[in-house]
Amino acid sequence: MLTLDALRTKISSIEDLQAVVRTMKSLAMVSIRQYEQARTSLSAYNHTVELGLQALLYHRRFADPPQGLMSLASPEPKSGWVGVVLFGSDHGLCGPFNEHIVTYALDQLGHRHIQPDRRRLAAVGARLIPYLGVANQPVQTSFSLPSSLAGTPHLLQDLLQTIEQWRLHQNVTQILLFYNQLQSTTTYQPSVLSLFPIDRDWLNDLEQRPWSSPALPTLNQDWESLLSALIRQHLFVSLYRATVESLASENAGRLMSMQAAEKNIEERLADLQADYRRQRQNSITGELLDIVSGFEALKNQDP
């Protein structure tokens, strides 16, 4: 049994740990809010990109001869390499966040009959690599996650360059993004996005949408170059959304882990404090008994 001094020391240590957990909870909640705001801010930008593509597709219908969608919106290829980008974390204390996305990605790749010898893997987050290694999935490229939103554009530039290299020099004809998507403050679920080739149904839907303004769109550049630029912006928005969704989900996982840790700490602290009070009471009782015994001994010595 621990002494009173040992119990006091242990209680103090656990209270310090409790303060750290509460701080981490606060930081995770602030981060989730930050990434949610970034996700919301993408809506207006994405709408602008879609309007640009809609204008181009409107011109395509009436061009003579009609412009094609090039290979950007070709049907899903059955040959060539498949580029796989997985978003995980660089830091721990976020529960099974990385394990879940790796398991989901491997299940989806198997379901799509994409064999390991057709894959090019890029891991965003160092914590993914051990799980991929256990599954015998070699990682060709890895990236570190930014510590804040300010570093996100640099990561996206690196990802876009890697994707461009895959397409131009490594015969990568399909690119899939796997990331955790935030559902609530403490929940998320794995998700997959086909980044390339561009979804032909989505482009057809844009083409069929009614133009919202009485003024018809006009072009001041070459149709093909404008399409390439807008598609690149679409890829940028898709990558940005996957990044902030993953970062928000990572912090949701961390918040969930910290809540579980806080509950365990509170239970342990309550047990230790109960032990401390019990031992303190026993100590006081023992001291009182000693005083009474001493008084009785002195009393019996009186003449």
* pLDDT at residue number 78: 63
Q: Answer whether 155's CB lies under 8 Å from 243's CB.
A: yes
Name the DSSP class of 147: S
pLDDT, tens digit, 9 for 90 and up, residues 106-115:
999 999 999 9
Radius of gyration of the chain (CA): 30
Whether 75 has a pLDDT exceeding 60, the answer reads no
pLDDT on residue 303:
55
What is the CATH architecture of 28-253?
3-Layer(aba) Sandwich (3.40)
Strands, E, within the chain: which ranges?
81-87, 119-124, 141-143, 172-184, 187-196
**pTM (2 d.p.):** 0.83
pLDDT of res. 243: 93
* ∠ Cα 25 264 130 (to 5°): 65
Domain locations along the chain: 4-18+258-301, 28-253
Over residues 211-228, the pLDDT tens digits come to 777 877 777 777 778 888
Among 121-125, 250-254, 288-292, the minimum mean pLDDT is found in 288-292
What does the longest C-alpha to C-alpha distance in the chain come to?
130
